């Protein structure tokens, strides 16, 4: 039986049964190993060997290896989570856990990969044996990522949506609160967008939205910046660690870029913008949005195609 070395622990199993079981296990994509209470590997199937060969372990003598030692070594050198895996394996061996499972990434230079590791007692043997399996769950994880991305992004422009914004702002808000640095926010509104849609049609309106989204996306260059499709004809630009004067300058540069952009044969669009900025001192950031919205209202009331800054409240730094 290839890869099998349980010896006297399996003396009661007939040769035909062993061959049958081995054929079943070797036909699976699931990577399977059997270990004893000391962590020594007693059996691996073909999928386990193949995975090792594909990941720099070709020629590995698995039946002379200790799985616990492998996990501990990986935890020391590369992956701290392997220490947790080794601890969980030992807990199952000691009978403190019935079984355990663990999802983990195992990326390589050519592709992203994820696996599900499972361990359980292999019944009917004394001394006790344990089965460990690794299942490739990459397609499921990629599908989950795709669904998550769809739920967090606007389908037309590809920009993050308000749900993504809430998650991002919360983290950025906390960081700036710790550092006592300002968070700035710009709300852009496309001028006379309803009239544009009525005149040129909704397909032209979509082209206008995607063109402006591309401009605002390019402005959000840093890891602390975020361009968002806010809804309708509104966009939001979040600027972490950015004072008001710099945010006003960025908003004005964006306004000019939009104004200069030719929308195919439809002419030009313009945007109005409201800017607000202050140093966070509590967990309530609704006031920043309200201030930017108030400034946007003044920009539109003042003739549109312009930038207005909010009148800032007294800032509490402690």
Q: What is the pLDDT of residue 316?
A: 45
**Which residues are within 8 A (CB) of 37 and not within 5 positions of it... i.e. 6 or more apart?**
93, 127, 128, 130
The overall average pLDDT reported for the chain is: 86
Which among 146, 156, 153 has a CA at the least distance from the CA of 112? 146
Which among 229, 207, 227 has a CA at the least distance from the CA of 216? 227
β-bridge mates for residue 119, sequence order? 100, 132
Q: What is the mean pLDDT of residues 269-292?
A: 90
Most confident of 78-92, 112-126, 230-244: 230-244
pLDDT level of residue 119 (50, 70, 90 thresholds)? very high
Task: Considering only residues 15 and 83, tell me which one the structure prediction assigns the higher pLDDT.
Answer: 83
- Give tens-digit pLDDT for 14-31: 567 778 888 999 999 899
CATH for 7-142, among 3.40.50.2300, 3.40.50.10490, 3.30.450.20, 3.30.70.20? 3.30.450.20
Q: What is the pLDDT of residue 12?
A: 53
294 annotated active-site: no
pLDDT level of residue 64 (50, 70, 90 thresholds)? confident
Among the listed residues 37, 101, 233, 308, the single catalytic one is: 233
Report the chain's terminal Cα–Cα distance, integer Å.
Answer: 71
- Give tens-digit pLDDT for 190-235: 999 999 888 888 888 999 999 999 999 999 999 999 999 998 999 9
Q: What is the mean pLDDT of residues 144-170?
A: 90
Long-range Cβ contacts of 6-15 (<8 Å, 24+ apart) = 6/34, 6/42, 6/43, 6/129, 9/42, 9/125, 9/127, 9/129, 10/125
- 314 pLDDT exceeds 70? no
- Give tens-digit pLDDT for 233-254: 999 999 999 999 999 999 999 9
Q: What is the pLDDT of residue 57?
A: 76
Q: Is the dihedral of CA 69, 73, 74, 80 positive or negative?
A: positive
Fold adopted by 153-309: Alpha-Beta Plaits (3.30.70)
Q: What is the Cα–Cα distance from 246 to 275, expressed in whole angstroms?
A: 10
**Alpha-helical runs (H) found in the chain:** 15-26, 46-54, 67-77, 81-93, 138-152, 162-179, 193-200, 202-219, 244-260, 286-301
pLDDT level of residue 315 (50, 70, 90 thresholds)? very low
Q: What is the pLDDT of residue 265?
A: 67
**Which residues are within 8 A (CB) of 228 and not within 5 positions of it... i.e. 6 or more apart?**
159, 160, 161, 162, 164, 165, 235, 236, 237, 238
Percent of the chain with pLDDT over 70: 89
Q: What is the pLDDT of residue 159?
A: 95
Q: What is the pLDDT of residue 55?
A: 75
Q: What is the mean pLDDT of residues 68-80?
A: 67
Which among 235, 264, 267, 262 has a CA at the least distance from the CA of 251? 235
Structure-block tokens of residue 196 = 């544009």
Structure-block tokens of residue 8 = 């006297």
Identify the three-state secondary structure at position 192.
Answer: coil
- Give tens-digit pLDDT for 284-310: 788 899 999 999 999 999 999 999 999
- 317 pLDDT exceeds 50? no
Judge residue 136's burial from the number of C-beta atoms within 10 Å of its C-beta, 0-12 exposed, 13-18 middle, 19 or more buried: middle
Q: What is the mean pLDDT of residues 166-178?
A: 90
Q: What is the mean pLDDT of residues 115-127?
A: 91
Q: What is the pLDDT of residue 75?
A: 56
Q: What is the pLDDT of residue 7?
A: 47
Percent of the chain with pLDDT over 90: 56
**Which residues are within 8 A (CB) of 294 and not within 5 positions of it... i.e. 6 or more apart?**
274, 310
Query: Are the CB atoms for 34 and 43 separated by under 8 Å?
Result: yes
- 3 pLDDT exceeds 60? no
Extents of the domains making up the chain: 7-142, 153-309
């Amino acid at each position: 039986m290839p890869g099998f070395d349980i010896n006297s622990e399996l003396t009661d199993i007939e040769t035909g049964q062993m061959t049958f079981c081995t054929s079943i296990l070797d036909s699976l994509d699931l990577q399977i190993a059997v270990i004893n209470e000391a962590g020594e590997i007693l059996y691996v199937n073909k999928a386990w060997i193949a995975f090792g060969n594909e990941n720099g372990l070709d020629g590995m003598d698995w039946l002379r290896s200790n799985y616990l030692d492998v996990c501990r070594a990986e935890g020391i050198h590369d992956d701290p989570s392997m220490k947790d895996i080794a601890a969980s394996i030992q807990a199952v061996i000691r009978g403190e856990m019935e079984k355990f499972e663990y999802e983990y990434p195992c990326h390589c230079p050519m592709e992203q990969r994820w696996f599900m590791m499972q361990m359980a007692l292999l019944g009917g043997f004394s001394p006790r044996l344990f089965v460990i399996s690794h299942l490739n769950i990459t397609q499921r994880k990629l599908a989950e990522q795709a669904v998550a991305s769809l739920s967090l992004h606007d389908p037309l422009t590809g920009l993050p949506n308000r749900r993504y914004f809430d998650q991002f702002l919360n983290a950025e808000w906390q960081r700036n609160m710790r550092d006592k640095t300002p968070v700035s926010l710009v709300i852009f509104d496309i001028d006379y967008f309803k009239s544009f849609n009525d005149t040129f049609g909704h397909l032209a309106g979509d082209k206008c939205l995607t063109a402006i989204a591309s401009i605002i996306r390019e402005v959000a260059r840093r890891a602390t910046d975020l361009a968002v499709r806010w809804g309708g004809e509104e966009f939001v630009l979040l600027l972490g660690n950015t004072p008001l004067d710099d945010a006003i300058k960025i908003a004005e540069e964006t306004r000019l870029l939009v104004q200069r952009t030719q929308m195919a044969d439809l002419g030009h669009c313009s945007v109005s913008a409201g800017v607000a900025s202050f140093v966070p001192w509590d967990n309530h950031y609704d006031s920043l949005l309200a201030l930017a919205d108030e400034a946007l209202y003044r920009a539109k009331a003042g003739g549109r195609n312009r930038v207005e800054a909010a009148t800032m409240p007294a800032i509490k730094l402690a």
